[in-house]
Structure 1
Amino acid sequence: MFANLPLTALRSFESAARHLSFKAAAEELHVTPTAISHQIKQLEHTLGLALFDRLPRGVALTGDGRRLFRDLHGALLEIAQSLAALQPQRSTGRLTVTTTASFAALWLIPRIGGFYQQHQDIAVRIDTGAQVVDLQQDASVDLAIRYGGAVPAGLHRHGGLREHFGVYGAPGHVEAEAAKPSPTLISVEWGESQLYECTWQTWCDRAGVDWMKPGGVMRAYDEEHYALHAASAGQGLVLASSVVTAGSVERGLLAMHRPDITVPGETYHVLCVPGRERHPPVKAFLRWLDGQMGEV
């Protein structure tokens, strides 16, 4: 049934497609770049189509190449996981999760102790780098928890966490600040800096207040956890997500003003390469996430 599968060529293609480099694939597989090129040319000849566009500097996958890579990467990953599961004394489970610094600091890390209590044999590495990780290219990352936007083609989405925005402040201070004609407003400036400004205006319109009038005090931070720390210190009112404020509200560091008024936000998506969700450590982490995300 599988006698004619060009396994060596497929493995060479998968590595070259993941790295987008024949040289990097050669280093990974301990062969020469010429050998990688030869294997891929043979595979293209067998299939009767081009898998790579050869560019002046490097290579890029064609549409057919992207399709083959998605299917092949998932299949090889399943094979590797099956072999690992058969090993009688396999090492401690590990997984890597990439997400934003704010989500990690304000939601994930305060809760992850519960996961370790249930799974002491699994080590979780949390990556909060500024660059968005391409899960189909970087096999070292198991899961991504990403904010908003459409789910990229070719990725598996597992659940999600929907948010809404409200106004928060320090307990014992929030109502006094809100009673001022021009309270100090705390916001966040991301790459999409208009998100908070527009949401502040929407909240004010729904509440029937004119806090966004010219001359008002607006203090902005580039990370949500800075904005929440400023609000909990009594420095003003913060417009914040129900997701990232949940822990601070539970610990009595923040209180919500006008709980009856909220503005819909985005969804935190949990993403992985198809097939990775069946890897035992990843499967255990996803099952734990389901329980936690259902609580917010």
Structure 2
Amino acid sequence: MFAELPLTALRSFESAARHLSFKAAAEELHVTPTAISHQIKQLEHWLGQALFERLPRGVALTTEGRRLFRDLHGAMLDIAQSLDALRPRRSSGGLTVTTTASFAALWLIPRLGGFYQQHPDIAVRIDTGAQVIDLNQDASVDLAIRYGGAVPAGLHRHGGMQEHFGVYGAPAHIEIEAAKSSPTLITVAWGDSRLYECSWETWCERAGLDWMKPGVVMRAYDEEHYALHAASAGQGLVLASSVVTAGAVARGLLAPYRPQITVPGERYHVLCVPGRERHPPVKAFLRWLDGEMG
């Protein structure tokens, strides 16, 4: 049934497609780039389809190549997991999660202790680099927790969490600050800072308050956790996500002001390459995330 499958060529293709580089695939498989090129040409001839576009600098997958890579990567991952399950004295290993620095610092990392209590033999590596990682190309990353936007084609989405925005302040100062005719408002200088300002305007309109009048004192920070620290220190009121403030509210560092008034936010998506969700450490982490995200 499988006698005619070109297994060596398929392994070469998977590596080259994941790296988008024949040279990187050759280094990974300990062969020459010429050998990788030869194997892929044989596979293309066998299929009667071009799998790569040869560009002046590098290669790119064709539509057929992307389809084959998606299916092949998942199948090879399943095989690797099955073989690993048969090895004696195996460890549960670990997984790598990529997400934003704010989400990691304010939501994920403070909760990780609960995961380690359930799975002390699974190590979780958190990647908070500014560059968005292509899960289809970087096999070292197991899961991505991303904020907003459309889910990229070809990725598996597992659950997630919806946020809303509200106003928060230090419990001892929130009513005093809110009683001022012009309280100090804390904002975050996002890439699209106008989005944050509009959210403040929307919240004030819903609350029937004229805080956004000329001369309002706005203190801006470039990271959400800085803004939350400023608010918890009594420096003003912050408009912030229900997700990233949850920990500070639970610890009594922040309290919501008029919590019935909110502004809709975005959704956090949990994403992985299809098939990766069945990997035992990833499966355990996803099950734990489901409980934490509710």
Normalised TM-score (structure 1)? 0.97
Tell me, yes or no, if the aligned pair for 2:148 and 2:269 is still in contact at 8 Å: yes
Note the alpha carbon deviations across 1:109-161, whole angstroms, 9 max, x for none.
Answer: 11110111111111111111111111111111111111111111111111001
Name the CA distance, whole Å, in 2 between partners of 1:81 and 1:214.
61
Q: Residue 140 of structure 1: SS of its match in structure 2?
A: coil
Report the counterpart of residue 242 of structure 1 in structure 2.
Answer: 242
Note the alpha carbon deviations across 1:35-79, whole angstroms, 9 max, x for none.
Answer: 111111111111112111111111111111111111111111111
Tell me, yes or no, if the aligned pair for 2:92 and 2:281 is still in contact at 8 Å: no
Tell me, yes or no, if the aligned pair for 2:92 and 2:280 is still in contact at 8 Å: no
Report the counterpart of residue 74 of structure 2 in structure 1.
Answer: 74
Report the counterpart of residue 88 of structure 1 in structure 2.
Answer: 88
State the 1:201 CA deviation: 1.0
Name the CA distance, whole Å, in 2 between partners of 1:107 and 1:28.
36
Report the counterpart of residue 215 of structure 1 in structure 2.
Answer: 215
Name the CA distance, whole Å, in 1 between partners of 2:50 and 2:196.
46
Name the CA distance, whole Å, in 1 between partners of 2:60 and 2:51.
9
State the 1:194 CA deviation: 2.3
Report the counterpart of residue 126 of structure 1 in structure 2.
Answer: 126
Report the counterpart of residue 266 of structure 1 in structure 2.
Answer: 266
What code does the residue aligned with 2:272 have?
A: C
State the 1:173 CA deviation: 0.7
Note the alpha carbon deviations across 1:176-224, whole angstroms, 9 max, x for none.
Answer: 1112121111111222322211111111110111212222111111111
What code does the residue aligned with 1:165 have?
A: F
**Stretches of structure 1 lacking an aligned partner (at least 5 in a row):** none
Report the counterpart of residue 48 of structure 2 in structure 1.
Answer: 48
Report the counterpart of residue 224 of structure 1 in structure 2.
Answer: 224
**Stretches of structure 2 lacking an aligned partner (at least 5 in a row):** none
What code does the residue aligned with 2:254 have?
A: L
Report the counterpart of residue 100 of structure 1 in structure 2.
Answer: 100
Name the CA distance, whole Å, in 2 between partners of 1:243 and 1:231.
16
Name the CA distance, whole Å, in 1 between partners of 2:190 and 2:65.
35
Report the counterpart of residue 62 of structure 1 in structure 2.
Answer: 62
Name the CA distance, whole Å, in 2 between partners of 1:216 and 1:262.
21
Report the counterpart of residue 31 of structure 1 in structure 2.
Answer: 31
Name the CA distance, whole Å, in 2 between partners of 1:195 and 1:156.
29
Q: Residue 244 of structure 2: SS of its match in structure 1?
A: helix
Report the counterpart of residue 135 of structure 1 in structure 2.
Answer: 135
Report the counterpart of residue 11 of structure 1 in structure 2.
Answer: 11
Q: Residue 115 of structure 1: SS of its match in structure 2?
A: helix
Name the CA distance, whole Å, in 2 between partners of 1:192 and 1:8.
48
Report the counterpart of residue 288 of structure 1 in structure 2.
Answer: 288
Name the CA distance, whole Å, in 2 between partners of 1:21 and 1:172.
58
Q: Residue 211 of structure 1: SS of its match in structure 2?
A: coil
Spell out the pairing of 1:137-216 with structure 2 (5 A cutoff).
137-216=137-216
Q: Residue 219 of structure 2: SS of its match in structure 1?
A: strand
Normalised TM-score (structure 2)? 0.98
What code does the residue aligned with 1:71 have?
A: D
